[in-house]
Amino acid sequence: MSDSSESLKLYHKKCDHLLKEPEIRFAGIVDKRGKLIAGGFKEGITPYENDETKLQSFFEFVSKTSIRKEFDESLGPINYLAARRDKAVLVSFPFPVTQILLLISAEPTVSIEILAKKVVEIFTDVN
């Protein structure tokens, strides 16, 4: 089995691990083109956004935003980007070395800092 397929299996496993958290609705890995390559919605969850085109546009936007480097020298690299909305919290975690992005959608009650620590615990060996 190739490194690429081994990585995909590992990403699926780690996303599944995140989806066991009660407040997480979606955990997925997106490649540099904004395509979902691993993970997805928690079983039994109905997405708020039914339109696949809008979801794909969101993936592409977050991917482009997270890999921007203009402030890295002065402020350091992006650890994560978070948006708290009325119905959900959206958080993205860039992995610049592999040019992928972890996207998470969670219930609005989630603590972003606790979630970030959980992601670091789960994904440390992938970085």
Return the H-helix or E-strand segment holding 120: helix 112-123
What's the pLDDT tens digit per position in 2-45? Answer: 458 888 899 999 999 999 999 999 999 988 777 889 999 899 88
What pLDDT band is residue 85 in, cutting at 50, 70 and 90? Answer: confident
pLDDT confidence of residue 88 = 85
Helices H / strands E in the chain, number of each: 4, 5
DSSP state letter for 34: S
Does the structure show a pLDDT above 80 at 69?
A: no
Domain ranges of the chain: 3-123
What's the CATH number for 3-123?
Answer: 3.30.450.30
* End-to-end CA separation in angstroms for the chain: 21
What pLDDT band is residue 127 in, cutting at 50, 70 and 90? Answer: very low
pLDDT confidence of residue 37 = 92
Angle CA 39–14–72, to nearest 5? 90
pLDDT confidence of residue 63 = 66
Return the H-helix or E-strand segment holding 111: none
Between 54 and 8, the higher pLDDT residue: 8
| Mean of the per-residue pLDDT values of the chain | 83
Q: Does pTM surpass 0.75? A: yes
pLDDT confidence of residue 29 = 92
